[in-house]
Amino acid sequence: MHRSPALDMPDVPKGQLPPHIELQRTRVLCNFDAPTHTENVQYSGAYSSMGVDNSLRMDQFCNNFRVEVIRLSEDDMEFDMIGIDPSIANAFRRILIAELPTMAIEKVLIANNTSIVQDEVLAHRLGLIPINADPRLFDDLSENDTPNEKNTIVFNLHVRCERGGPRLTVKSNELKWLPHGSEFPLATENTTSSSTSKPKTYTSFSCSQDSLPEFSDKSIGPKHPDIIIAKLGPGQEIELEAHAVKGMGKTHAKWSPVATAWYRMLPEVVLLQEIEDEKAEELVKKCPVNVFDIEDIAKGKKKATVARPRACTLCRECIRGDDWDKHVAIRRVKNHFIFTIESTGALPPEVLFNEAVKVLEDKCERVITELS
Amino acid sequence: MEHGSFSDHSKSTFSLSDEDHTLANSIRFTLNQDPRVAFCGYSIPHPSDARVNIRVQTTGDSAREVLKDACQDLMLMCQHVRSTFDKAVVDYKMSKPVKDMSIEK
């Protein structure tokens, strides 16, 4: 980076930062010993002495903000979010992980478990199974609520390994959805009095869930049929009922709708001077992720080029030794985020991100109404 | 909940329950970008209490109004992010079948 003493600096044009300050403002410089200029200048008057307004102008934000989808599949997506502050990008990430609701098994009523997996371990394993149900169609079950068709999904698991047969692997597809609710009678119920009426169970569904229009077209069940829950030896048996309710990732990670969601800043690799011939070959060899390519220029000469900057992991191999940091600079672009969302399957990743932004909007609205 | 003085509305601490860094850090950003703000910062007094304190000191305007505007700004940004994102996803899905066909050829 070119530095010149303050007194020798050319007159700074009004409304524009001098190039070296602009570089410090927009890039993290990944030097060999440590990254520098990692901070973000937020204060609106930070550059007022240079006649530059750093305040937020919504029209400017709207013009500069861009989203580019790189990859999108059923439960995985990668996109670039350009022109946004890390505080807001991080808010989206935090909300995706901890504040979006999903359905997960919370209560397990075990009628019989003679397997070697202890009841509490089995219940924990069941809790972690992703349930393929849209959480937006359900209500929260608060402490005093009775479980009903709007806030609870009931599954039944009954497997038995016959004596003399081979050992049995219990997988998540054995969890059978009970749209009518629990089938276990309440233990306190007096059995003689209610011989005619329906016996009371652990849930009080007023109607069957599959009769509701939102579930009639698709049945509810575990997202993946092949998750191993337990293994049974001959003569062992598991009979239980699992109740899934709505919750959030900040209570327990089993309610997190994403396997993970993360972002990284866009790497920028700059050749500070022409790198030719043997030096170029050396540079290509130095990089373990093949960021550089060789280009033929006139008279059999070769020149190094930066072909795949996105692949750069900022390992800094390319600026190690000799004077390499005079030839190559690696930086990160501060307002360009490569965002990756891996959904666990209840909702597709693009819907999750949309919901996350909505959650942040709701939070703002709450504060505004509280202050009014 | 606001903690401030009756005579001077330009400085106040706002205590928000059930919030954390997610909202407080975003609001600190929008507040800092407001030229009327002289100082702002936030703290979480105790990690096991779901509560943040946001301190706002302005150059004269009511701190409450400035915080409200900051929330409004953040909300507008979110709305823009959401519409831009949805548009990008739709564009991607529209262009995807074309790409798939070209690979099959």
Q: Does B91 touch chain A (CB under 8 A)?
A: yes
Q: How would you classify residue A322: left for phi > 0, otherwise alpha for psi between -120 and 50, otherwise beta?
A: left
CA of B50 vs chain A CAs: smallest distance (Å) = 11
Q: How far apart are CA A99 and CA A366, in angstroms?
A: 15
Q: Which residue has the tokens 């169970």?
A: A201
The CATH code of the domain that includes B42 is: 3.30.1360.10
CA of B100 vs chain A CAs: smallest distance (Å) = 13
Q: How far apart are CA A93 and CA B61, in angstroms?
A: 33
DSSP string spanning A31-98?
Answer: -SS-EE-------TTTTGGGT---S--HHHHHHH-EEEEEEEETTEEEEEEES--HHHHHHHHHHHHH
What is the per-residue pLDDT for B104? 47
A45, A85, A95: residue with CB nearest B22: A95
Q: Is residue B37 part of a domain?
A: yes
A79, A91, A350: residue with CB nearest B25: A91
A66, A67, A357: residue with CB nearest B78: A357
pTM across the whole model: 0.89
SS3 A310: helix
Which tops the pLDDT comparison, A195 or B79? Answer: B79
Q: Which residues of chain A form CATH 2.170.120.12?
A: 102-253
pLDDT tier at A278 (50, 70, 90 boundaries)? confident
Q: Is residue B104 part of a domain?
A: no
Q: Is residue B101 part of a domain?
A: no
| Orientation of helix B21-32 relative to helix A349-371, angle to 10° | 70
Strand partners, A71: A78
What is the per-residue pLDDT for B105? 41
CA-based angle A365:A367:A369, to the nearest 5? 70
A43, A65, A367: residue with CB nearest B81: A65
Report, at the CATH architecture level, how domain A102-253 is classified. Answer: Beta Complex (2.170)
Q: Which residues of chain A form CATH 3.30.1360.10?
A: 24-38+60-100+256-372
CB contact under 8 A, B80 and A354: no
Q: How far apart are CA A139 and CA A137, in angstroms?
A: 7
CB contact under 8 A, A360 and B85: no
CB contact under 8 A, A58 and B35: no
A55, A68, A357: residue with CB nearest B81: A357
Q: How far apart are CA A303 and CA A356, in angstroms?
A: 46
Q: Is residue B30 part of a domain?
A: yes
Q: Does B77 touch chain A (CB under 8 A)?
A: yes
CB contact under 8 A, A55 and B71: no
Instruction: Please state the rounded mean pLDDT for residues A238-265.
Output: 94
CB contact under 8 A, A367 and B91: no
Instruction: Please state the rounded mean pLDDT for residues B12-34.
Output: 93
Report, at the CATH architecture level, how domain A24-38+60-100+256-372 is classified. Answer: 2-Layer Sandwich (3.30)
pLDDT tier at A2 (50, 70, 90 boundaries)? low
The ipTM estimated for the assembled molecules is 0.91
Which tops the pLDDT comparison, A273 or A2? Answer: A273
- Closest residue by Cα to residue A297 from A279, A277, A312: A277
Q: Which residue has the tokens 């992991």?
A: A313
Q: Does A43 touch chain B (CB under 8 A)?
A: yes
Q: Which residue of B has its CA nearest to A97?
A: B22
- Closest residue by Cα to residue B43 from B74, B15, B9, B73: B15
Q: Does B34 touch chain A (CB under 8 A)?
A: yes
Q: Is residue B99 part of a domain?
A: no
Q: Is the pLDDT of residue A189 over 70?
A: no
Task: Please enumerate in sequence order all residues whose Cβ is within 8 A of that of A366, keeping only pairs 6 or more positions apart, or say none.
Answer: none
Q: Is residue B105 part of a domain?
A: no
Q: Would you say A111 and A184 are in contact if contact means Cβ atoms under 8 Å apart? A: yes
pLDDT tier at A202 (50, 70, 90 boundaries)? confident
**Structurally, how many domains does chain B consist of?**
1
What residue numbers bound the domain in which B64 lies?
A: 2-93
Q: Which residues of chain B neighbour A73 with C-beta distances below 8 Å?
A: none
